[in-house]
Structure 1
Amino acid sequence: MIPVSVLIVDDQAPFLRAMSAVIEETEGFWVVGRAGSGEEAVVAARALLPDLVLMDVNLPGIDGLEATRRLRARTSAPVVLLLSTYDEDAGARFIAECGAAAYVTKSAFGPDRLREAWTAATN
């Protein structure tokens, strides 16, 4: 398996650490960068060219949905997985609004959900 490069976007340090830990525990995935806002995410994605972006929905400045729209509009756009504390029911609306591949609650995010979302988005 070719390693999947991941950009993590969240404005809260505990969640950045938690998502980083999940990536480090998941074989075939590696963290290439971190960003704390929607604007930083767009800039970092252009520079780092990640395969996957883990995007928090609520961010300072442009939110995660707008940042996702901007990333998805690019040629060779990365796969974007939205994460938030909102319940699963909100996920379908978020995905429809921005074109993300999937939505996972932060409490449910782990290696299995990461692999499932990646596999579903790339097959």
Structure 2
Amino acid sequence: MSVRVLIVDDQAPFRDAARAVVEATDGFDVIGESSTGEASVDATQQLKPDLVLMDVNLPGINGLDATRRILRDSNGVVVVLLLSTYDEEDYASKAAECGASAYIAKSRFDPDRLTAAWASATGMEPTTWVPAPGELST
């Protein structure tokens, strides 16, 4: 079963680029996109992704606050990776503070980084991902 991915970014060109990375990565499928923090919280509740790729700077609530809400509402079942243009060294602690599993600079986001971040967060390769009972959306 593929890892279900929600992409959150206010810039359509980056959503397109992120979609291309996800689609080029074995074991991952894009199930939706959002352009605001509020919309990402709603989309997570409706679509039930396994993974959210979250921009930091968003209109309305920012990606850090949206991550906190998503993790609270999902009881921590969803994995969130923060993505932005900031240096990874500067933002790794902010990712940890809001509960995100990792921070990846947009310029370094590629299939290898996606796979490695997922494996680090879950302990599983995407091709062996099996949701726990009750996690499958209907």
Q: Is TM more than 0.5 here?
A: yes
For 1:91 and 1:102, the matched residues in 2 are separated by: 9
Question: Are 1:86 and 2:101 an aligned pair?
Answer: no
Report the Cα distance in structure 2 between the residues aligned to 1:91 and 1:80, rounded to whole angstroms.
14
Out of 98-107 and 68-77, give the one that drifted further. Answer: 68-77
In the alignment, the residues of structure 1 paired with residue 102 and residue 13 of structure 2 have an alpha-carbon distance, to the nearest angstrom, of 22
Q: Deviations over 1:85-116 (max 9, x none)?
A: 00011222211320100000000000000000
- Asked whether the 8 Å contact 2:96–2:102 carries over to 1, the reply is no
Please say if 1:13 is aligned against 2:34.
Answer: no
RMSD (Å), alpha carbons: 0.9
In 2, are the aligned partners of 1:9 and 1:54 still within 8 Å (CA)?
A: yes
Structure with higher Rg: it is 2
Unaligned runs of 5+ in 1: none
Tell me the TM-score normalized by structure 2. Answer: 0.86
Cα shift readout 1:34-74 (whole Å, capped 9, x = no counterpart): 00000000000000000000000000000000000001112
Alignment of 1:1-123 (within 5 A): 2-74=1-73, 75=75, 77-123=77-123
Seq. identity, %: 60
Higher deviation after alignment, 84-93 or 17-26 = 84-93
Give the ranges of 4+ consecutive aligned residues of structure 1 lying more than 2 Å apart after TM superposition: 74-77
CA distance in 2, matches of 1:28, 1:10: 22
Unaligned runs of 5+ in 2: 124-138
Q: Is the contact between residue 72 and residue 99 of structure 1 (CA under 8 Å) also seen in structure 2?
A: yes
The one-letter amino acid of 1:65's match is: L
Aligned residues: 122
